[in-house]
Amino acid sequence: MNSPDYLLILAGAAAGGFINGLAGFGTSLFALGFFLSVLPPTQSVALVLILSVVTGLQGLWVVRNAILDNPKRLARFLLPALVGIPLGVLSLRYVDVQALKLVIAGFLLIYGGFFTVRRNLPKIDRPTPAVDVTVGFLGGVLGGLASLSGALPTMWCSMRAWPKAETRAVLQPFNVCVLALSAALLALRGAYTPETLRYALIAIPTALASAQFGIILFKRVSDTLFRRLLIVLCFVSGLILMGRELF
């Protein structure tokens, strides 16, 4: 690998780390395109998962108090997801994954586009434990099936009238746990070769530093602006996901 290739890996790590620090998710969204231009798909995904988990740990520390204040709410999302992941993996042989990704991309585009241009954001402030459990479970299924565990939780949490720290206290640990499990499954398949680990050692410091800049910005944005950011990222996620599947 030559110097420009290493620069692309560092650029992907910087972009992915920054958005994770800012929003609590999205490392794959912003980093994978850089990695895929110089690395094979499996190696690219393995590298993204490492960066997602490592940078996500910094975000967990930022919202640790919000997590501890309401652990039952996080459990309503996370525990069903852990049940859903293996079910998603088992469903791989029966489902057209590309078609599923296009459907999810369509939902993200419609949802993100609609609420991006709306003046008033959705505001669901009543307790919804049954919906939380369902969204967490389906997020786990989609994670095991198509690596899209964060799509539904992000859409749902951006509709809740929660302060930004409480929203992140659900999304950040949810994504860290699901992606850590995904990384473990890839490791069992031998995806983390010495070469992949060498790239990770190069990329991790850059991702961590960039995540700190994202965290600084997260602390400064208002609750409303953070919700709008999540909605815009839903739209961008749908756009990128559809582009990858169609072109």
pLDDT at 178 over 80: yes
Rounded Cα gap, residues 25 and 225, in angstroms: 16
Q: Give the range of the structural domain holding residue 223, as residue numbers without chain letter.
A: 3-246
Predicted pLDDT of residue 1? 63
pLDDT at 4 over 80: no
Alpha-carbon Rg for the chain in angstroms: 17
Tens digits of residue pLDDT in 53-104: 999 999 999 999 999 999 999 999 999 999 999 898 888 788 888 898 999 9
- In the chain, how many domains are there? 1
Tens digits of residue pLDDT in 152-170: 999 999 999 899 999 999 9
Predicted pLDDT of residue 103? 92
What's the mean pLDDT in 182-200?
90
Nearest Cα residue to 52 out of 230, 215, 173, 226? 173
